Amino acid sequence: MGKGSKSSRKGKKAWRANISTEDIEDFFEKTTKDALSGGNLSAAPSDDLFRVEKSHDVPVKRKIEKSREKVLRCDSVLKKNPFVQVVSSSKPKSKISKKKKTNAVESKTPKLAQSSVDDDSVMMDLWGDDNKGEDEGNPRKIWKMTSTIPAVEVDPAGCSYNPTAESHEDMLAEAVAQEMQKVYKTELGPEPVPLTIDGNNNIEDEAGLLSVCNRIINGKSAYFLGVDNGSEGEEDAEAANEESEAGNKTARTTKRVTRVVLNKRARQKALRKEETKEKHKEKLSKEIDSLPKIIKEIAEEDKEKLNKKIRQTIAKEEVLKIRPPRLGKHKYEAPPVQVLLTEEMTGSLRKLKACCTLARDRFKSLEKRGILVPSKTIRR
């Protein structure tokens, strides 16, 4: 750039106007460029400006290693294709509520989230013993009802091979009572419906039914005939009454209501209204006064309900100790008491008669504990 023309500096204003500001502008431009480029290069350390190239230190890969990196055709097919769109779910998005979305996001574990992002197939060892994290992604839980009945129940002392006389008599009495209950149930119960009926026994019944039907039909016809006769007589009586009323209408005179009567009615109406208001006030005051009593009654009712609930739960628990809950169509039937008769008692294990009741006992135990559904007893 050439030198600028000199100007006179006589006045103060001219002296100020002719001073050059190029160096200041250059400084501002330089600072802005440094800020945009990432800093002043002259002030930056050498490590940031220069980098040592170490590529020649890496060994050359062999052909075998390169061939190992090649992916098989079957594995490449199973890999995710970025150009193929994912199949949308059959459920529309509008039906999915926000609550379900939030629950699904919260319940998703980090491993599941990672697997959803990285959909590439991974080779798994089928015969590996590593079962770590097998049940982490399965939120389902199998609920089992615990039974208070033990798996193996100890029989009473009277069922032993060498019991005492008293315990043996008690068990015999219990067995007899069970058998008698079955007998009474079959005798006193309702008679079953017969599968077949003889045709000769129904002739008299059919004749009786026909006679009853004829009587009913004849009675209905007579009843309807009587109703018709009565209706005609009633119509004649109504016509005569109408004629007499038409003649008496002219003779009747309307009674005039005076002001005194109207005032009396108004006063009575006002009195009745005041009485109802007073009764309502008395009722409210009585209810307010009886509030402590009502609160006490409510507390007693709540206490009774709580006690009733406790009794019901205890009764259910006691029942569950004896028999299982109803699981199917048939109820659980307890097996008969396995007690020896007096003739069968030998007092020795060697002389004891063998009975094949082990499988039956285990089966009944499973039914009693609620593991198996009770089935119909088939007697052979």
Q: Give the C-alpha separation, 293 to 57, whole Å.
A: 98
The residues near 355 (Cβ < 8 Å, ≥ 6 apart) are 338
Per-residue pLDDT, 150 = 85
Task: State the alpha helices, DSSP H only, in the chain.
Answer: 12-17, 22-37, 46-49, 63-68, 73-78, 98-107, 110-117, 165-188, 203-249, 259-289, 291-322, 358-368
Q: Give the C-alpha separation, 340 to 175, whole Å.
A: 10
Lowest mean per-residue pLDDT among 62-71, 80-89, 234-243, 349-358: 234-243
The pLDDT-based confidence of 303 (bands split at 50, 70, 90) is very high
Which is nearest to 341 in space by CA: 216, 201, 168?
168
- Among 11-15, 130-134, 332-336, the range with the most confident prediction by mean pLDDT is 332-336
- Percentage of the chain with pLDDT > 70? 60
pTM of the model: 0.37
Task: State the alpha helices, DSSP H only, in 108-154.
Answer: 110-117
pLDDT at 305 over 50: yes
- Percentage of the chain with pLDDT > 90? 17
Q: Give the C-alpha separation, 163 to 92, whole Å.
A: 74
Q: Give the C-alpha separation, 121 to 113, whole Å.
A: 15
